[in-house]
Structure 1
């Protein structure tokens, strides 16, 4: 079984229990991660709070140096990370390299470049009339991330939080946690100071709730279902911490009468099939003029037929498996 990453070191969970990680293409157990306990979250928060003064006191340029080293290490391992994502959540090999592993690299670079561009002066404060505007770290940030774009969502939360001088406690989805471990190894190898970044794997009702409720966490950022996001808001309200939510959605694709119907339908189907349909911004229903309905149905069926599921490790596969049996049941329902 793997370990938790707290205060710059790998350690066993207080629970002593593990969670099986399944390859969705084979349904075989490929790894075991700790089922973290509230005591683990508390240890991670204490480490993050202890590391906060020194990390936030660094100049943005000094933090960029740390993160740029991590990005260099990540890019060197990009193919390995893509392979992990293929096994962990079923992304086809090509899609895993280009999007599931490639997009986090792009966003990582974007954040590093942005802080380099604005420079230290952006964080030093500026006068507006008789007011002084200061940009300061929030403090300890709790990040709770989903399984559908697991590493992308982690990078979107963790990297800018660290660059801005915050420290972080991350809970990745227990459904697809392995890419979080890959990033943790990169941050550790890059020499990030102990306690600045911490990883506590586990379930939402246990680790997620402990993060949302912890008085030592100043902000919680959550991406996931509306039901779980509602619970995060309720629990976090007890300690009046900042909350950022990105919740599930179902997006309509409106095709107007003067559109090129064949192109619109083809692209609409391609969008919803991306990541095996497991995207919160997927165009999951197509609205067309009634006069175009029959033709749109025919075109959609033709396009959808080209997306036969296959082995995600096969380079020719365009659609892999759904991430879990639970998700399969949900989609069928």
Structure 2
């Protein structure tokens, strides 16, 4: 689609497109070409107040809407997503840099499924539970503020918006300044589906302004944030004085334990590709690969081959596009240089510009060996295509290394089979574990432990985050 046709210089508030009250324009850059795609308005505090007022007013009726009505509207939204699937692919791919053929299955297909999944769970809100002489009712939490990231923008949009709609909540959505375009497509889809005015509002803007305002606003009952742990701490601080509900999906530095009985070639290849997909900009990426010491050099050689086979670019045959921005590229390059300075062995890749890519924010797929878990590259989230390979002598040491991190979002185990993997899985401190290449499942809860956040998205638990329980004490 022609992305310049989107109404990116306006906000969507109370069911209509309107001008900002004093907001400036911010360019969205194509990271593959470094050329501007369009300008997007940055909302102000007054814009946030207007959006919150609209959502608060709409909640009075929307909270009492029948589940069947919400279900029908959400299926209409999913139908719109299907009809405009190519527009969503174009919007995500152009601003993020992910090749379009990968964007389709990695960024768009799942969110369409998730919208329908939650449409069909709206009826849960009308179910009651008998607890002795009491009846337990389910009610929506209220007005919600959503702050979504740039790396999986549509995925996280739907992970918040869909369960909130199913529960009967109203909302204000703030996308990242880097990848806001799919939110504009979604606002058009939502508008065309006939969602009541004020239920969904779109206010792009800077995190320290719009994000902070949503987190602290007295009339917002819940804030859901996806992003860095550093920013998540600030969101929680802003939310604390109003005692609003806070859910967060934050950083990760996740381990992949390859057991001695695993198919080493398959396991290492999958582990590397897991890191390189989306240019390493995945919070669940298994960036610490733990390998039995007796097979370590064999694994390092496999990883080198995989990295050097990766096709870079945004074409139909390419696997890895650019980083999302010049800033992110520079951060990743700095981390690679830090790893070399720390004494890790650079197997392949590095911080030099990939050959043939003078334009675009590209970084080479990089593999480090001889990494120890006290190195910065093993402890800090790099958010780029960098795999750190660490040897272990026995499973107790592997578990100790895996859990020696402030994060607990994701993990992986590759063993002889799933049954053999489960005893290892149970010892890992993380909210998610991929076993022998298992795929992400939108029917299951997603979220982390420790400093990787709190709360869950997707699955039945994702809807629970938007529910208040009311106990009605009846006469015995």
Structure-2-length-normalised TM-score: 0.67
- In the TM superposition, residue 124 of structure 1 has moved relative to its aligned partner by 4.6
Shift of residue 131, structure 1, vs aligned partner: 2.2
Are 2:268 and 1:265 aligned?
yes
Q: Does residue 276 of the first structure (1) align with residue 279 of the second (2)? A: yes
Q: In structure 1, what is the equivalent of residue 33 of structure 2?
A: 26
Contact 2:28–2:39 (CA<8 Å) still a contact in 1?
Answer: yes
- Partner deviation per Cα, 1:160-194 (whole Å, 9 max, x = no partner): 10111000100011110000111111000111111
CA distance in 2, matches of 1:299, 1:73: 44
Q: For residue 174 of structure 2, what is the aligned residue in structure 1?
A: 171
Kept in 2: contact 1:66–1:191 (CA 8 A)? yes
The equivalent of 2:291 in structure 1 is 288
Name the CA distance, whole Å, in 2 between partners of 1:2 and 1:317: 33
Distance in 2 between residues matched to 1:250 and 1:13, nearest whole Å:
39
1:189 corresponds in structure 2 to 192
Structure 1 position 107 matched with structure 2 position 108: no
Measure the CA separation in 1 of the matches of 2:167 and 2:138. 9
- What residue in structure 2 maps to residue 76 of structure 1? 83
Highest RCO, 1 vs 2 (Cα 8 Å, sep ≥ 6) = 1
Question: What SS does the aligned partner of 2:105 have?
Answer: helix
Secondary structure at the aligned position of 2:63 is classed as: helix
Corresponding residue of 1:149: 152
Let me know the Cα RMSD of the aligned residues. Answer: 1.1
Give the match for residue 237 of structure 1. 240
Give the whole-Å Cα distance in 1 for the aligned partners of 2:279 and 2:113: 22
Gaps of 5+ in 1: none
Asked whether the equivalents of residues 220 and 244 of structure 1 are also in contact (C-alpha less than 8 Å), the reply is yes
| 79, 94, 104: which one aligns with 1:97 | 104
Residues 91 and 100, structure 1, Cα contact 8 Å, conserved in 2:
no
**What is aligned with 2:13?**
6
Give aligned pairs, total.
327
More deviation, 125-134/86-95: 125-134
Q: Distance in 2 between matches of 1:302 and 1:149?
A: 28
Superposed CA deviations along residues 3-58 of structure 1, whole A, max 9, x for unmatched, are 11111111111123011100110111111111111111110000000000111111
Provide TM-score, normalisation by structure 1.
0.96
Question: Which residue does the alignment assign to 1:331?
Answer: 332
Q: Is the 8 A contact 2:74 2:116 kept in 1?
A: no
Bigger Rg over Cα: 2
CA offset digits 1:232-288 (Å, max 9, x no partner): 000000111000011010111111122111111011111111111110001111111
For residue 44 of structure 1, give the secondary structure of its aligned residue in structure 2: helix
